[in-house]
Structure 1
Amino acid sequence: MDNQNKNLILATVLSFVVILVWYTVFAPPQPTVDPNAPAVATAPAEGGTPPAVPADAPAVADAATSPAAVEVAAAPRIAIDTPRLTGSLSLAGGRIDDLSLKDYKETLDPASGLVRLLTPVGEAALGAPQPYYAVYGWAPAGGLPAEAVPDARTVWTQESGTTLAPGQPVTLAWDNGAGLIFRRTISVDEDYLFTIGQTVENTTGAAVRLAPYGIIARHGEPQTQGIWVLHEGVVRMADGALQEIDYDDMPELEQSAREGGAVEVTDVAENGWIGFTDKYWMTALAPKPGESFTAVVKHVPNSAVYQTETRMPVVEVAPGATAGVETMLFAGAKEWEAIRHYQNDVGIDRFVDSIDWGWFFFLTKPIFILLHWLHGVIGNMGWAIIALTLIIKAIVFPLARKSYISMAKMKELQPEMEKLKEKTGDDRAKFQQEMMALYKREKVNPASGCLPVLLQIPIFFSLYKVIFVTLELRHAPWFGWIRDLSAPDPSSILNLFGLLPYATPEPGSLFFIFSLGILPICLGVSMWFQQKLNPAPADPAQQMIFAWMPWIFMFMLGGFASGLVLYWIANNTITFIQQYLIMTMHGHRPDLFGNIRAGFKRKKAEPAAPAKK
């Protein structure tokens, strides 16, 4: 009996340790790149790479007051209005820098503002987030002077279109006055994908060489969740290889004087994309499928700017000819159906992997797909989680059944175990020997109870990952007071679950662990009931540990997402029903409250203390 419980505890602890060590110590290192590799594979020897940083990137502290920022802020704008997006683009650089998501609010408060994804330069002093925008342009090559091409501050002319909307593109134009006419046509679909077509018309008498590029720039390090289970920062797909770089790792990249900061350069032969990912939102530059380009990750320390870039090969435009390139920009929510559409129908390679599925992706992906399908059928994410639990329990039931049968037999053997304990006394070696002989004689495998636990750990972790990182759980209600399954249970024992007019501690505060909601309490009770079906440890110390375990877990998981706690309650309840029925079928009807009744009987049987005179 001792060995069985020791093995169970060790298996559980070691499994969690393996997961933590794997994620924190053995995660694959960031890819290294030869710092001497050319920024653009086809660039000529005399240059031809885009500027190291947009010309207007000021220090974060004076972003709202620098001359460049004031110039950009004063430029005319074109409205963006789609079923999913609202905002505007600036004629200064033709940048897409003002974007909010119509379907998502910051909080559950009806008066809450929309989630704002992109922010122009110059608004930080007004309380807006730090500047975050996408800008496109051309880099001079072959001796072409820098002033001959538009930069990030060039004010374009609105040539056609009024409001950028699906089916209503806008075209910007800029004439450099020296025979080159640049045009940029921007279109947007019903969801989150922009298409940017750039052309240059050469009316000079000589060929010119230049290279198109796209940049996503973030001024200042954004606030992140700061949890190891989630990646926030650069995400890049390069010819089928997914690469991730955290914001705090970007300053540690190879320093390049030519680039003006820390930089990592990756040549992409055929398919790829690069951008910034947050927990639920993302921006990504995506050249057309099959086109080669250079993906660049950069941190500029002096201006505290984080950048991702796509640099296209140098093109040569003959006299009287026009050349161009078309690329895409994703800016929006990481909705699985939307990004899967862009992957399967538009051809953005492995775009679904922009969602952080983690190293257990082989479990996380199918769990999410099944949960997503159940949600579509049922229409409520909370009931979908319960239905998912039923399906998972049905899949692992054949293995769990053997464990439940073994536990039933071990329950039946408990009187024999007590006799052995009395017979052997303090001789623990003799007790272990007799106990193993009893197991062998009765054909009981005490280690079989570990298997369901070992199976449950990766499933639990994968579901935790799904609930934590996928957008579909954000602000998803169940019923009653559970209005957001991605957040902890908002009810609290400290205010009698809302009966008293007192606010509860905020998540992360010292006293939040004592602010138990209804779901965590139900979790502790469900674990207690399930535990009563298992054989009690022979060792008193182990008995005490197991007795406290449900209530410790109740406090530990009290601050977890409600959806995860709901899954755990459903799992415990289904496990209890399965195990109870199987044990009953094998002749053992568990007495769940026997220990409690026995305690009361002992109390009654004790003689009353004599009254003091």
Structure 2
Amino acid sequence: MDDQNKNLILAVVLSGIVLLGWTIFFPAPETATDPNAPVATVTDGTTPTTAVAPPAATSGSGTATSGLETATQTPDAPRIEIETPRVVGSISLIGGRIDDLALKDYKVEIDGDEIVTLLEPVGSEAPYYATYGWAPGGALTVDDVPGANTLWNVESGETLTPETPVRLSWDNGKGLIFHREISIDAHYLFTVTQSVENTSETTARLFSYGVVARHGTPETSKYFVLHEGLVRLSDKELDEEKYKDIADFDLDPREGGHTSVIPVAENGWTGFTDKYWMTSLVPQPGQSFTSVAKYVESGNIYQVETRMPTVEVAPGSRTETTSYLFAGAKEWETIRQYQDDNGFYRFVDSIDWGWFWYFTKPIFRILHALHGLIGNMGWSIMILTLIIKGVMLPLAYKSYVSMARMKELQPEMEKLKEQAGDDREKLQRGMMELYKTNKVNPASGCLPILLQIPVFFSLYKVIFVTIELRHAPWIGWIRDLSAPDPSSILNLFGLLPYAPPEPGSALAFLSLGILPILLGISMWLQQKLNPAPTDASQAMIMAWMPWVFMFMLGNFASGLVLYWICNNTITFTQQYLIMRSHGHKPDVFGNILRSLRLKKKDA
């Protein structure tokens, strides 16, 4: 490898390190909350639309407090069933918590019957739930408003379905009557309308809120390329924080935990995202609110909150707020529908598109469209590869022509190597003069490779992160394109009566499937068209590279390996034809056979 190539590769690596370091050490600054934000006053029963409330209400004693209760275990609480075409579960009348939800369309294991459970009540192994309520201000106390442990009465609705909403009520006995209506659509969206009517003779000061809480630190995939944790949009700022980063927020004694507070003027949402699932609070589009992310160390609880503006409800008046809860699978089409039809600003950005989102989004949309036409993700990936290679062909053409000319110069390069002996400087000068005389740019072959890097990572994100690839079959033994090839060379691909090693075991690295082996062969064949490095050490490294990659990518998602095999095969075909069109006739298979005969003779 000449100095020009070395410098080019070094520059790419250093640029990546700088980009990564800047993202880690210089995150976007958070906006400070104004503690003197104005309060909206309700005198005519309308909903306020003025400025964001302070992050904490003021109790009757004048001490700042969040006013939000921690949910407690209530095993015998009465419940209302949830039944829709896509979800099943129940709502606890204690707090009106949405704390029991499973997704009918998704199984835990591809061959199993157990469906994915998303939300679980307090007292379960991994409590995860949404709750709503009101926080007190002025002369009110926490006993005067409904919270996470308030027992609600059912006004109407025995089962929550897309056709039948549920209406709850609670009377504090002091002139404030609270109502809550919960409805759900045919997918994953709950609509929660909270109202309070003041029948007392004094003005009530309070604000409504929504909370999503997770007890205990969730188990995550721990992949660097995958975000799991907090995801929220605050006007135009997208914020993603892993659970360990939430626990590192500044400690706020008023809030009772490590807290980050961001005022949102018009549009936003906040929630927790897993690899395939998400639970997010979404206020009405255009509604100002305060976005809160918090870690309560004493209970090991992570939670997000949306706090509506504080209101003063005059005697005889009434106010209400409406917000949404998304709890379900991160299906692009469903989330995009909520963005377009409901006005949830940039809601598709809740999907983890990654650094190269400008490639990832269009690649996914093309793949999604192809799957809609073909009905098979494996064939769709192959056609997508053809499209990508077709787009890059003009750049690849120049690269392949340069490689063909370098291949023709190979005998002269060997002569220069013999003449220079151990004088590397003389060899470099001779090679540069040879390139200049024949008008060959050795660095031109790097450009298509560099362009493929963001495309490769973008497709990797699409296959690894998007739920559309989960449990998606291709052919025969490939029944899940988001999982590694299940076949194994250790049991002769199923011919021997032994199960392959479990993923993550010591032998799993050696347990190559059919697709990884085909990947290694395709890389090896493609390498035979390229000019060999003049340096013996570099030549040996390049010779081993296909087989190293074969093991490295052996446990990658089958869809990604399939893409890489197709990419290598198409690249080989393009390069072979272009080299022939410029007078160079590569005898790849003849060279391979001659090489094998020589090795056999030497043995």
Using structure 1 for the length normalisation, give the TM-score. Answer: 0.91
The corresponding residue for 1:356 is 352
What is the rounded CA distance, in whole Å, between the counterparts of 2:379 and 2:140 in structure 1? 63
What is the rounded CA distance, in whole Å, between the counterparts of 2:593 and 2:400 in structure 1? 25
Residue 216 of structure 1: how far off its partner (Å):
0.6
What is the rounded CA distance, in whole Å, between the counterparts of 2:65 and 2:588 in structure 1? 73
Any stretches of 5+ residues in structure 1 without a counterpart? 58-67, 125-129, 609-613
Q: Which amino acid aligns with 1:77?
A: R
Q: Which moved more, 1:458-467 or 1:13-22?
A: 13-22
The corresponding residue for 2:119 is 118
Conserved 8 A contact 1:11-1:454 = no
The corresponding residue for 1:29 is 27
1:55 and 2:72 are equivalent in the alignment: no
What is the rounded CA distance, in whole Å, between the counterparts of 1:50 and 1:159 in structure 2? 34
Q: How many residues align?
A: 586
Residue 506 of structure 1: how far off its partner (Å):
2.2
Q: Which moved more, 1:158-167 or 1:428-437?
A: 428-437
Deviations 1:30-88, CA, capped at 9 Å, x for gaps: 6445488479944598449996485344xxxxxxxxxx41xx22111111111111100
The corresponding residue for 1:62 is none
Cα distance change on mapping 1:582 and 1:144 into 2, 3 Å: same
The corresponding residue for 2:570 is 574
The corresponding residue for 2:43 is none
Cα distance change on mapping 1:170 and 1:605 into 2, 3 Å: closer
The corresponding residue for 1:385 is 381
What is the rounded CA distance, in whole Å, between the counterparts of 2:197 and 2:263 in structure 1? 28
Cα distance change on mapping 1:42 and 1:444 into 2, 3 Å: closer
Residue 167 of structure 1: how far off its partner (Å):
2.2
1:563 and 2:563 are equivalent in the alignment: no
Cα distance change on mapping 1:94 and 1:134 into 2, 3 Å: same
The corresponding residue for 1:76 is 78
- SS of 1:576 mapped into structure 2: helix
- SS of 1:476 mapped into structure 2: coil
The corresponding residue for 1:63 is none
Conserved 8 A contact 1:35-1:264 = no
Q: Which amino acid aligns with 1:207?
A: T
Q: Which amino acid aligns with 1:193?
A: L
Deviations 1:123-172, CA, capped at 9 Å, x for gaps: 22xxxxx1111000011112113211112111111110111111210101
Q: Which amino acid aligns with 1:96?
A: I
What is the rounded CA distance, in whole Å, between the counterparts of 1:392 and 1:207 in structure 2? 65
Conserved 8 A contact 1:385-1:567 = yes
The corresponding residue for 2:48 is none
What is the rounded CA distance, in whole Å, between the counterparts of 2:83 and 2:32 in structure 1? 43
Residue 12 of structure 1: how far off its partner (Å):
5.0
The corresponding residue for 1:316 is 312
- SS of 2:23 mapped into structure 1: coil
The corresponding residue for 2:47 is none
**1:245 counterpart (235, 241, 244):** 241
What is the rounded CA distance, in whole Å, between the counterparts of 2:597 and 2:232 in structure 1? 67
Cα distance change on mapping 1:458 and 1:79 into 2, 3 Å: same
The corresponding residue for 2:459 is 463
1:235 and 2:231 are equivalent in the alignment: yes
Cα distance change on mapping 1:123 and 1:599 into 2, 3 Å: closer
Cα distance change on mapping 1:603 and 1:389 into 2, 3 Å: closer
Q: Which amino acid aligns with 1:91?
A: L
1:19 and 2:10 are equivalent in the alignment: no
- SS of 1:509 mapped into structure 2: coil
1:484 and 2:480 are equivalent in the alignment: yes
Cα distance change on mapping 1:272 and 1:486 into 2, 3 Å: same
The corresponding residue for 2:329 is 333
What is the rounded CA distance, in whole Å, between the counterparts of 1:99 and 1:285 in structure 2? 16
Q: Which moved more, 1:37-46 or 1:503-512?
A: 37-46
What is the rounded CA distance, in whole Å, between the counterparts of 1:196 and 1:123 in structure 2? 25
Conserved 8 A contact 1:491-1:498 = yes
Cα distance change on mapping 1:509 and 1:25 into 2, 3 Å: farther
Conserved 8 A contact 1:117-1:332 = yes
- SS of 2:588 mapped into structure 1: coil
Residue 110 of structure 1: how far off its partner (Å):
3.2
What is the rounded CA distance, in whole Å, between the counterparts of 1:38 and 1:117 in structure 2? 38
- SS of 2:247 mapped into structure 1: helix
Cα distance change on mapping 1:80 and 1:535 into 2, 3 Å: same
What is the rounded CA distance, in whole Å, between the counterparts of 1:37 and 1:508 in structure 2? 51
Residue 433 of structure 1: how far off its partner (Å):
2.2
Note the 1:154-553 alignment, pairs <5 A: 154-553=150-549
1:95 and 2:97 are equivalent in the alignment: yes
Cα distance change on mapping 1:411 and 1:46 into 2, 3 Å: closer
Q: Which amino acid aligns with 1:89?
A: I
Any stretches of 5+ residues in structure 2 without a counterpart? 40-51
Conserved 8 A contact 1:30-1:244 = no
- SS of 2:160 mapped into structure 1: coil
Residue 438 of structure 1: how far off its partner (Å):
2.0
Q: Which amino acid aligns with 2:27?
A: P
What is the rounded CA distance, in whole Å, between the counterparts of 2:554 and 2:443 in structure 1? 30
Q: Which amino acid aligns with 1:26?
A: T
What is the rounded CA distance, in whole Å, between the counterparts of 1:599 and 1:391 in structure 2? 35
Q: Which amino acid aligns with 2:289?
A: F
What is the rounded CA distance, in whole Å, between the counterparts of 1:401 and 1:30 in structure 2? 41
What is the rounded CA distance, in whole Å, between the counterparts of 1:600 and 1:292 in structure 2? 72
Residue 499 of structure 1: how far off its partner (Å):
1.4
What is the rounded CA distance, in whole Å, between the counterparts of 1:50 and 1:341 in structure 2? 40
Q: Which amino acid aligns with 1:480?
A: G
Deviations 1:401-459, CA, capped at 9 Å, x for gaps: 01111111111121222233333333333332222222222221111111111111111
Q: Which amino acid aligns with 2:20?
A: Y
Residue 595 of structure 1: how far off its partner (Å):
4.1
Conserved 8 A contact 1:75-1:92 = yes
Conserved 8 A contact 2:278-2:329 = yes
The corresponding residue for 2:42 is none
Conserved 8 A contact 2:478-2:486 = yes
Cα distance change on mapping 1:152 and 1:484 into 2, 3 Å: same
Q: Which amino acid aligns with 1:440?
A: K
Residue 599 of structure 1: how far off its partner (Å):
4.1
Using structure 2 for the length normalisation, give the TM-score. Answer: 0.92
Q: Which moved more, 1:27-36 or 1:173-182?
A: 27-36
